[in-house]
Structure 1
Amino acid sequence: MPQSTPLTIPSPIEIKRLPWMRRLSLISPKLSHLLTVFSYGSLNLWAFIESHPAITSFCEYPGYVIIDDQQVFATFWVQGDGQQQFLVLEGDIQIEPENINSVPTFHDAAVHTVTQAWLASHQQWINNWHRINPYIVSNGRFVTPQILDATAVLFETPVTLFDAEHALRRIDQQLVRTAIFMLLHRGRITSADLTKKPLSGATLFYSNAARA
Structure 2
Amino acid sequence: MRGFAPRFSTPLDAPRPRGSPMLEGFSPKLGRRVRLFNRSTFRQWVRLEVDPAVLSLCERPVRSSPAPGSRVVDFWVQRDAGEQLLLVDDEQDELAPTASDIPVQRVAAADLAAAATLIDNWQRMLPTIVSTRAWHSGALADSVQECVREPMALSRLERAFAMGDPPVVRGAVFELLRKGRLIAPSLHSQPLTPDTIFGPAS
Tell me the TM-score normalised to structure 1 length. Answer: 0.83
| Alpha-carbon offset, residue 8 of structure 1 | 7.4
| Alpha-carbon offset, residue 189 of structure 1 | 0.5
| Alpha-carbon offset, residue 156 of structure 1 | 1.5
The unaligned stretches of length 5 or more in structure 2 are 92-97
The unaligned stretches of length 5 or more in structure 1 are 1-6, 93-104
Which residue among 4, 7, 14 is the counterpart of 1:9? 7
Q: Which has the higher contact order (CA 8 A, sep 6+)?
A: 1
Segments of 4+ in structure 1 off by > 2 A?
A: 105-108
SS of 1:176's equivalent in the other structure is helix
State whether structure 2 residue 25 is matched by structure 1 residue 26: yes
Supply the distance in 1 between the matched residues of 2:36 and 2:17 (Cα, whole angstroms).
Answer: 13
Contact preservation (8 Å) 1:13, 1:62:
yes
The count of residues paired between Structure 1 and Structure 2 equals: 187
SS of 1:78's equivalent in the other structure is strand
Supply the distance in 1 between the matched residues of 2:52 and 2:87 (Cα, whole angstroms).
Answer: 20
Supply the distance in 2 between the matched residues of 1:17 and 1:44 (Cα, whole angstroms).
Answer: 17
State whether structure 2 residue 45 is matched by structure 1 residue 46: yes
Contact preservation (8 Å) 2:85, 2:104:
yes
SS of 1:56's equivalent in the other structure is strand
Q: Which position in structure 2 is the counterpart of 1:130?
A: 123
- Within a 5 Å distance, the mapping from 1:14-163 to structure 2 comes to 14-65=13-64, 72-91=71-90, 106-163=99-156
> Identity over aligned residues, as a percent?
30
Supply the distance in 2 between the matched residues of 1:108 and 1:171 (Cα, whole angstroms).
Answer: 49
Distance 1:65 1:18, change over 3 A: closer
Q: Which position in structure 1 is the counterpart of 2:95?
A: none
Q: Which position in structure 2 is the counterpart of 1:95?
A: none
Tell me the TM-score normalised to structure 2 length. Answer: 0.87
Q: CA RMSD in A?
A: 1.8
SS of 1:57's equivalent in the other structure is strand
